[in-house]
Amino acid sequence: MDIKDKVVIVTGASSGIGEATAREFGRGGAKLVLAARRVDRLETLAQEIAMMNSGASTLVVQADLSKLEDIQSLIQQTTERFSRIDVLVNNAGFGRLDWLENLDPVKDIQAQFDVNVMGVIQTTRQALPVMMKQRSGHVINMCSMAGLVATPTYTIYAACKHAVHGFSEALRREVKPWGIEVSMIYPGGVKTEFQAHAGIKRKTGATTPNALLLSAEDVGRAVLQLARRPRPMWIIPWAWTVSVWMNRAFNRLVDWTTINRFTIPEREDDLKAN
Ligand SMILES: NC(=O)c1ccc[n+]([C@@H]2O[C@H](COP(=O)([O-])OP(=O)(O)OC[C@H]3O[C@@H](n4cnc5c(N)ncnc54)[C@H](OP(=O)(O)O)[C@@H]3O)[C@@H](O)[C@H]2O)c1
């Protein structure tokens, strides 16, 4: 698909992967809808895209994706301005990565589901009638390696991304007869503001090896590629495919290694206290 003049909604365009993705579509001359809560950042990005002289146009929409009325308004403003929706990139999301008992029931647990799961489902639900009427469209969902392999401290985040995986797979099989594609992308670790918001505390210093760490731009380019050529699932970088396969084939071995190499050393003090 040629991106020029296509109507593309990018949620979570105010930073990280969403911002980088919007730049890629901007360079391609798309009609872009930039959505997030931090509208000042969206305005700055819109100005930057206008300076690209690529023929791109932008609509900035302040939206809290945990609120249905904001989602409805996002879709309404998009269709009022551009009359159609060609690509919906459901990217907005965040993680709170800690032991389950430390997570606040509302601010950490409920809030993650509200944005990472309900935000994706409701935005898609609102955009779908427009795409069905067009008999075309493409929903691209920002999943994560955590949507395929769940690790300690990622309980809620992994549950959210597994939910997005299941939602997307079922939807893909529902809407294809209307000419609508559903693609999912599964990045490993990406250098963005995500880590700062996640509240990660690691005694062992365990983290994604540098060789596997992606930039937001790497993922932005991959999303653009997906928009041009839909794929049901895309794991980036490819090397993580091995861990998905290991987790399926040798689940108990992965349990043992994770518990002994990560959980026990990280939780030594908790174990002594309780
Ligand atoms: N970084 C990683 O390692 C990694 C790996 C795999 C997948 N992902 C996924 O990639 C996506 C983007 O994350 P990122 O790494 O780019 O992190 P980021 O830089 O923190 O960006 C998160 C984006 O989501 C938006 N957002 C959060 N809550 C929102 C809400 N209630 N309403 C509207 N927008 C909201 C933020 O905008 P406002 O705060 O302005 O609203 C921001 O634009 C997420 O879905 C994340 O799960 C990240």
103-147 residue pLDDT tens: 999 999 999 999 999 999 999 999 999 999 999 999 999 999 999
Domains of the chain, earliest start first: 7-246 (3.40.50.720)
Residue 237: asked if its preceding bond is cis (omega within 30°), the reply is: yes
Joined together, the tokens standing for residue 80 give 């009022």
Q: Is pLDDT above 90 for 199? A: no
- From CA 143, how far away is CA 233, in angstroms rounded? 9
Q: What percent of the chain has pLDDT over 90?
A: 92
For residue 114, the ligand 1 atom closest to its alpha carbon is 31
pTM of the predicted model, to two decimals? Answer: 0.97
Indicate the pLDDT class of residue 54, thresholds 50, 70 and 90. Answer: very high
- Residue to mutate (ligand 1; options 10, 11, 17; most atoms within 8 A of CB): 17
Give catalytic residues, as residue numbers: 157
Q: How far is the CA of 130 from the centre of ligand 1 (A)?
A: 25
- From CA 258, how far away is CA 150, in angstroms rounded? 10
What is the C-alpha end-to-end distance of the chain, expressed in Å? 57
Quick one: which of 147, 115, 141 has its CA closest to 127? 141
Q: Is pLDDT above 90 for 26? A: yes
pLDDT on residue 203: 82
* Residue showing tokens 């389950």: 100
For residue 143, the ligand 1 atom closest to its alpha carbon is 7
- From CA 45, how far away is CA 23, in angstroms rounded? 8
